[in-house]
Structure 1
């Protein structure tokens, strides 16, 4: 049996420094966009040397990638759990939608980074991977519903998935968009519930 050893004090300190660097980079991106991210400013905010950023994370592109990866993992924790919930296809879609709403409300920074990712090829690629990963599960649920008759057979599973994902991001972005008046959490819940009711009704088979 392989013996599991606990991280040393030095290793824990190195990981804490890496985490702090990524969190400061994340905040900087939200404040001024990806163009505002420089290693010098992150180093100043994290109170470390620029070389430490290279040692713990890497260069600017690697830092952007690490920020996207952090958001990716936070989202996946919510959505994978939601899609593992048993139920009919429509029930699975509703649980997943509620999971996405909770993710956006409880992890707003991560949601914003995924809805408006840094303009960096590697970061954009990672976010695109997440979209394909989660949208594939949504498409599978819709396809299952079409197969068992609980969803209108006239629905195109792929197109429905893409449109629902885009609409969900648009609604949830109202909580932080610069051109939108702030919406309180309670109103966001009502707005989301109304949209979900419309979506579910639209997916039902036509009588």
Structure 2
């Protein structure tokens, strides 16, 4: 890579870093080209040249969060074990992503209201839910998961249920859950999931 190319890449990264920090700190509404230019110490025209307009910046920020989430989830599904083992690991990985990267997690749960960013986030969710449905189907086939579950419906239900628990961390009232309380809730969800998937499970 030439020096010019390295400088261009570094400038592009600095711009996306600045856009990400604004979105994560203040929400997507705070992202303007002027604010990003000031934070990245570049001209607005440079943003257009390297990334594009505001929509392109939002997509770039969402793409980073998508890739980070994919790394957590792919590692969980790739590890050896039974279908139920993979599902429980995926649930743990999803909760860990939310705990370790809360701003990125919230960006995926409440993505910027920009059509292409919304579509990319939906693509990732469908991709991960398809993996979950596949693991459920494998477990049904080998008899380790109860046969009366619909894999597609169940995968969507489990994803939504986990989001509901994790979203308690955002509440501003006394129902907010964080720290040890949140860890207890996640452990309880995973224990319920473990029992509920088993053919002879009892909740």
Fold conserved (TM > 0.5)? yes
The residue correspondences of 1:113-132 to structure 2 (distance < 5 A) are 113-132=107-126
- For residues 162 and 109 of structure 1, what CA distance do their matches in structure 2 show? 22
Match of 1:193 in 2: 187
Contact 2:111 2:121 in 1 (8 A): yes
**How far apart are 1:24 and its partner, in Å?**
2.2
Distance (whole Å) between structure 2 residues aligned to residue 206 and residue 59 of structure 1: 55
Corresponding residue to 1:95 among 89, 103, 107:
89
User: Post-superposition shift, 1:48?
Assistant: 1.2
Q: 1:1-207 maps to which residues of 2 (within 5 A)?
A: 7-178=1-172, 183-206=177-200
Contact kept, 8 Å, 1:174 with 1:180, in 2: the verdict is no
RMSD (Å), alpha carbons? 1.8
1:181 and 1:8 map into 2 onto residues whose CA distance is 54
Deviation digits for residues 24-72 of structure 1, max 9, x if unmatched? 2223223443233211111112221101111221111111111111111
Of 37-46 and 183-192, more deviation after overlay is shown by 183-192
C-alpha contact (below 8 Å) 2:33/2:47 kept by paired residues: yes
What's the TM-score, normalizing by structure 1?
A: 0.89
Once the two structures are superposed, what CA deviation does each residue of 1:150-201 show, in whole Å capped at 9, x if it has no partner? Answer: 1111111111100110111122222234456654333322211111111121
Counterpart Cα distance in 2 of 1:71 and 1:31: 14
Corresponding residue pairs, total? 201
CA contact (8 A) 1:72 1:130 kept: yes
Distance of 2:170 and 2:3 partners within structure 1:
39
Structure 2: any 5+ residue segments left out of the alignment? none
Contact 1:29 1:36 in 2 (8 A): yes
Contact 1:71/1:110, CA 8 A, preserved across alignment:
yes
